[in-house]
Every structure is written in C-alpha cells, then in structure tokens.
Amino acid sequence: MQRFQQDCIALALQQHRRGRISRRGLLQALAALGAAAAGPARAQAARELVMVNWGGLANEGFGRFYAGPFLAETPGWKVVQDSSGPATGRIRSMVESGRVTWDLCDSSASGANLLGRLGLATKLDYGILDRENVIAPGFALEHGAAPYSFSSVLVYDSAKFPTPPTSWADFWDLKRFPGTRLLRRDAACTLEAALMSLGTPAKDLYPIDRQAGIKRVSELRRNLIFWTNGAESEQLMRTGEAVMGQIWHTRASVLEKESKGRLKFIWNQGILQPGIFVIPKGNPGGEMAQRLLASMLAKPEPQVGLLGLLGNGPTNPKAAALVPEALKRFNPTDPANAPQQVMFNGDWWGEHYQAVNQDYLDAVTG
C-alpha cells in the first residue's frame, strides 16, 4: 500500500495550497525534510532512531504525533524522519547488503508478510508491544503493526442518483445506476469489490477467486476508466468523468466536504486496511525501535491528531471516544463505520499479489 502513503503526502500539500493546513505546519514539514535528506548517507548516531516515511507533511505528522510522545518518555534519544521512501525493494537491498540504516518503516500488511517470509524484517516482540492496543488481529502482525488505518470505499455523485447505491452490487448495476465507473489500476481491493458484487460473503472472500473477480471487472469495460494515483481519482470524480468509483477514503472525504455532500461515499463493504510499520532486520536502534512502535500503538490522542492532519484513521480502541464529532463521519475505524467494512487480508496478498495483479493488468489493459 505504499502508493497510499505517497498519496497522503500529496493530499496534505494540496490542502495547504487550499488554505486548510497552515503555512507554519508546512514549514515545519520542510524543515524536517531537510534534516532527513542526508539520512541514508550518514552514519547513524548512537541513541538515534530513523523513522522512514514518504515525505511532505508525513514528516510533521509522524514527528509530532509519533516521535514526540515517545521522546517525552525516553530522554537521551532522538527520532529522525527520513522521507526517502521505504519501498519494500529498498528495505530488501539494505538488509541483504548488511548496510541497514533504518529502524522503522511505513510499509503495508502485504509488505510486512513478504519481508517476514524472506527473513528481512524483525519479528515483533509482543512482550514489548501490546496487541490490546489495536482494534483487530490484522493490525498486529508477526512482522509489523499498524498505528493508522485507511479504507477503499464506494464514492458516487448523488445528483445523478435519486436512489443512492448501497453496495458493490449496485456499482455493477448499469441499468439502475447508469454511467462511467472508476476503479484503480491495481487488483488489491478491486477484486474484493468485484466478488462482493457477485454476492460473496465477507468471510469467504479469501482466498481470492481471481478468475471470477477479473471476469467481473471485465464486464464493465465499456463503462470503466482507471486511476493510478489519488489525485487522479479525486479529479475524475470532481469533473464528472465518472459518476461512481472505488477510491481511498481520504480522497472521498475531501470530495464530500468540497462538494457540500453532492459527492458522497459509503462505508458499507469498504475494504479496511492497516497502515503497517516494519522494522528491518539488523536495524541499528535494536529493541528501541520496538519500543517506539509500541508507543505509537499505545497512545490514542496522537492518533486522533494524525486523523485531523492527514485523514488516517486511528487504530487504538480508546481513540474512538476522543475523535471530534466533525471527524467521526470520516474515520474508517469509528465504531459506527468499521463493522460495515471488510478487513483486508494482507497475509494472502503478501503471498499472491505479484501474480494476481499481473493477471488483472493483462485482462484490463489487453
């Protein structure tokens, strides 16, 4: 899900340009970016942890809401934000070369499972981390844990449909809901939606029936356009090139607010995904990286702050009660929203993504 993290950065910068994030906040982010720029090239100082993200306002958000609370309780340490992008391939190269300079990396459920199977990620110590600090088992994995969440949801133009769609079956119903559809050029989450449109219960989605899912997507070919990044998905809905789509909840939230409710989204049958952090095998900070991740999971207030800044949902069960009323509608893990969704199976995708996604791309672009 690395593209989602990159999209959060682009979205935050867009919100700054529109006056929704302060100049001071942006300057803090740029300052953090400058401090991190030399990260991989320098020798890591003693008592320092390097947290790797995708840049932009993630530097400010992760620095303030993740590193800040940890450092307040851990004198003598510092946390550096490195915005060079923790792609799974880069983590693999670093570990295999024996030149690990990163301690904690913003990754994904599938990435954590893949790195774990290859022996490239550190197994988490749940004597240090507490599984009770996350809302579901899929947010606390053997080789990664999630201090934030996001979702892939159904968005639609309410001006086009007096009777609103309520499910993926409606998304595929071109007779009752005519118009162009929007899907991501990626199999993950797209195939789950396709199978749910066929009536597959959430509990039976995995293992993914790739042939049935791809065939179902192909049925929309004449009424379908694809997006490759979050900004594109938002723009295609805003301009009316698509009347219904599957996009990330962060982008859907922006559309609903800006259109004053004309462009709406539903949580029903959304695909809820954990924002997983991993620790590369042989990280310089050793056990302290686990303690930093434990702090990120344990403190609900900073997670709520991150929801307000970047739109990422909190994962601590105690956070829901702290979310301001105005943000509850846009929080994927709110007690009213989470039960309507399907939990993404990162373990299955971690093993099968490459082959399944290639089959999907061959079918939809061929």
- Domain hosting 55: range is 2-149+273-335
pLDDT band at 349; cut points 50, 70, 90? very high
Confidence (pLDDT) at 29: 47
Q: How many domains does the chain have?
A: 2
CA separation for the pair 190, 224 (Å, rounded): 13
Which of left, alpha, beta for 199 (phi over 0: left; psi -120 to 50: alpha)? left
CATH code where residue 84 lies: 3.40.190.10
Asked if residue 155 and residue 145 are part of one domain, the reply reads: no
Asked if residue 305 and residue 251 are part of one domain, the reply reads: no
Residue type, 111: G
Q: Which of 40, 55, 58, 78 is nearest to 288 (CA)?
A: 78
User: Mind listing the pLDDT tens digit for each residue in 120-173?
Assistant: 999 999 999 999 999 999 999 999 999 999 999 999 999 999 899 999 999 999
User: Mind listing the pLDDT tens digit for each residue in 40-80?
Assistant: 433 344 589 999 988 777 788 899 999 999 999 999 999 99
Asked if residue 204 and residue 112 are part of one domain, the reply reads: no
User: Mind listing the pLDDT tens digit for each residue in 254-273?
Assistant: 999 999 999 999 999 999 99
H or E element at residue 111: helix 109-117
What is the number of residues in the chain? 366
DSSP label at residue 169: H
Handedness of CA 128, 130, 134, 138 (dihedral sign): positive
At residue 37, does pLDDT exceed 50? no
User: Mind listing the pLDDT tens digit for each residue in 278-333?
Assistant: 999 999 999 999 999 999 999 999 999 999 988 999 999 999 999 999 999 999 99
Confidence (pLDDT) at 148: 96
Going through the chain in order, the beta strands assigned E by DSSP cover 48-52, 78-82, 104-106, 145-157, 181-184, 224-227, 244-248, 263-278, 342-343
At residue 215, does pLDDT exceed 70? yes
Asked if residue 279 and residue 267 are part of one domain, the reply reads: no
Asked if residue 230 and residue 126 are part of one domain, the reply reads: no
List, in order, residues 6 or more apart from 265 with CB less than 8 Å away: 153, 154, 155, 156, 247, 249, 252, 253, 255, 256
CA separation for the pair 92, 115 (Å, rounded): 8
CA separation for the pair 128, 23 (Å, rounded): 38
- Residue 241 CA from chain centroid, whole number: 25
pLDDT band at 340; cut points 50, 70, 90? very high
Asked if residue 223 and residue 171 are part of one domain, the reply reads: yes
Asked if residue 131 and residue 6 are part of one domain, the reply reads: yes
Confidence (pLDDT) at 312: 92
Asked if residue 194 and residue 47 are part of one domain, the reply reads: no
User: Mind listing the pLDDT tens digit for each residue in 201-214?
Assistant: 999 999 999 999 99
Asked if residue 318 and residue 232 are part of one domain, the reply reads: no
Asked if residue 235 and residue 350 are part of one domain, the reply reads: yes
Asked if residue 210 and residue 325 are part of one domain, the reply reads: no
Confidence (pLDDT) at 56: 73
Asked if residue 167 and residue 130 are part of one domain, the reply reads: no
At residue 348, does pLDDT exceed 90? yes
